[in-house]
Amino acid sequence: MPLGNVLLLLHAHLPFVRHPEHEEFLEEDWLYEAITETYLPLLEMGEDLEQEGVHARFSIALSPPLCEMLADPLLQGRYLRRLHRLIDLAGREVERTRHEPLVNRTARHYLDSFRRARSVFEDEHGRNILRGFRRLQDAGRIEILTCGATHGFFPLMSSAEAVRAQVRVAAANYERHFGRRPAGIWLPECGYRPGQDAILAAEGIRYFCVETHAVAYAAPRPRYTIYAPVRTPSGVCAFGRDIESSRQVWSASEGYPGDAAYREFYRDLGYDGEEAYVKPYLHADGVRRNLGIKYFRITGKVPLNEKQPYDPEAAAGRARLHAGNFLFNRSQQARHLAGMLGRAPTVLSPYDAELFGHWWYEGPQFLAELLRQAGAQTDVLFSTPGEVLSSGARVQRATPTLSTWGDKGYCEVWLNPSNDWIYRHQHVVEGRMVSLARDFRDANGLAKRALNQAARETLLAQSSDWAFIMNAATAVPYAHKRFKIHVESFHRLHSQLRAGSIDETLVSQLESRHNAFPEIDWRAFAPEEKR
C-alpha cells in the first residue's frame, strides 16, 4: 500500500498565433520552439515509458489554442520548414567545430536531436502529434485535461455566459481532437471564483486544479488541507497545488534548473555566431534571435561572456541525480503527511509544460528518469487526478476561495495599470455576444457563419495571454494589436448582423485568418434558460 499519491501535471499552452498573411512571423516561433524542445520530447517520453512497461503515470493539460495550432496544416508545414533549416545549420556546425572536440560533441547532439524531431513529427505522427497523445491516453498511459477555449481568465469575465462559452467550446474542441469528453480542466491561470464550479459540472467536468490557498482557505476549512481533493457544491472536485514540490523545480534559488551543469538559455548561436553565417537561418528581416543551438552551461552567477562550455552527458547525469532527489523528497513528504493526517496524502505537482525542454533543456530527461525510478518503488504512486477520484476514497465537501496562481495569488497579474484598460472593452464584447446568441438562435447560411466568427473573435479577445504579456512587458505591442484586432473584428460583425447586411468578403477573410474551432457553435454564449 503506497504512502501517498503524487499527481504530476503539466500544463501545455500557447496563445493562438497564426498569420497566413505573412510568409514568416516572429511570434509563430513560440510554437515552433516549443514543439522541438517540449512537446515532441514529452510525447517521446510517454511512448518510451510505455515500451519499457513503466507503470508511473502523469497528466497533461493541452489547451484548445495549442491543439488547434498543432493540428493546423499551415503551421505544421511551416514548422517542418524551420526544422529542415535547423538540421542544415546543425550539419554546418558539426563541420565548423570539427577541431573543437567538446563543442563538436554538442553540435552532433543538436544534429541528432533535430533529425530525431523530424522523424517523430513527420514519419511517426504524420505532422500531427496530437494523435500520439491521444493514443497514449487511449492506452491508459496518460490523462489529458482541457483548458478554457482561449485560456480566458474566468474570474474577471463579465457574466456566467461568458465563462460557460469558454468551457463549452473547450469541451467540444477536446472531443474533436481526442474522441471523448474531458474529465478534467486546467482553469486558465488557476483562476477560480466561487460558483463557477456549477458551470464546469454542467459540461460534465469531474475535476479542476487550483492554487494552494483556494483549497487551504476553503469553507469549511478542509480537514486534510491541500493533501486531498475537495468536492464543491456542484459535485466537481478541486485539487490544490503543493508548494513544497513546486519550489524544488520552480525556485530561482533552490530549483533544479539553476544547476551549474545545465544548459544556459541566454547564450544562443543566433546571437553568438558571425552575422553573415547565421543570417540565412534568421527571418527575412535579419534580426538576431534564438535558433536553439546553445553551447554554454549555466556555470554559476557569472556574466554571460564567462559561461563555460556545455556538456550534454554531464547535464544528463545531473538530471538523473535530481530525479532521484525529487522522488526521495516526495517519499519523505508522503511518510510525514500520512502520519500527521492519518491517511495517504495526495500531492499535486503542477508545472507549465514549457519549463521542461524550452527553459530547462534537460527537463524532459528529468521527468523520464523520475517516472522510471517512481515505477520501480512502492512508497509513492505517481498517478492521475482521475485515478484518485476513482479510488472510492471519501471526499470532503467545501467551497474553494477566489484565487489565481501568479504573483500574490489574487488576480493582480491580470488586473493592474498595465492591462486594466482591456476589460471595459472585453465586457462590452461579451455582453453583445451573449445578446447575439439570444436573439439569433436559428440563423443559417451567411448569418450563421458571421455569428460563429463573432464568437471566435470574442473568445480570442478574452485570452488571458494578452493581459499577461502586457504585465510582463515582453511583446507588448503585439498583445495590444491582437486584442484590438479581435475587438474591432467583433464589432464590425456585430454591426452587420444587427443591420441585416453582412459582408461575405469580411467574413471569409476573418474565417481564414482566425480559423480556430471549426466545430464552434455561437449558441455556446446563449443564456442557459434559452439555449
- Kindly write down the DSSP assignment for every residue of 488-530, as one continuous string: HHHHHHHHHHHHT---HHHHHHHHHHS---TT--GGGGS-GGG
pLDDT of residue 266: 95
Domain boundary among 384, 408, 432: 408
| 212 domain-assigned | yes
Q: Is 189 a catalytic residue?
A: yes
> Does residue 386 share a domain with residue 472?
no
Size of the chain, expressed as the number of residues it contains? 531
Parallel/antiparallel/unpaired status of strands 230-231 and 237-240: antiparallel
Structural domain count, the chain: 2
Amino acid at 85: R
- State whether 402 and 467 are in the same domain: no
Average pLDDT over residues 271-298: 94
- State the pLDDT at residue 439: 97
- Annotated catalytic residue: which of 189, 197, 465, 521? 189
pLDDT value of position 206: 98
Same-domain status, 477 and 357: no
What is the arithmetic mean of pLDDT over 277-284?
93
Evaluate if residue 129 carries a pLDDT over 70. yes
Average pLDDT over residues 124-136: 98
CATH of the domain at 159: 3.20.110.10
Q: Which of 291-295, 424-428, 527-531 has the lowest mean pLDDT?
A: 527-531
Q: Are residues 502 and 358 in the same domain?
A: no
- Domain co-membership, 496 together with 521: yes
| 53 within a domain of the structure (yes/no) | yes
Mean pLDDT, all residues of the chain: 96
pLDDT reported for residue 531:
41
Catalytic, 44? Answer no
- Can you give the residue range of the structural domain that contains 331? 4-71+128-257+310-408
- The DSSP code for 293 is -
Assess whether 359 and 489 both reside in one domain: no
Confidence class for position 253, pLDDT limits 50, 70, 90:
confident
Residue 87 in any domain: the answer is no
Query: Please, are residues 143 and 350 in contact by the beta-carbon 8 Å criterion?
Result: no
Q: Are 315 and 297 in contact (CB under 8 A)?
A: yes
* 427 and 381 housed in the same domain: no
Confidence of residue 530 (pLDDT cuts 50, 70, 90): very low
| H helices present in 139-252, as ranges | 160-178, 197-202, 212-216, 243-250
What global pTM score does this model have?
A: 0.96
Q: The cell 482521475 sits on which residue?
A: 386
Residues 248 and 347 in one domain: yes
Catalytic residue among 352, 379, 387, 511: 352
Mean pLDDT on 291-295: 97
Domain's final residue, options 408, 424, 459: 408
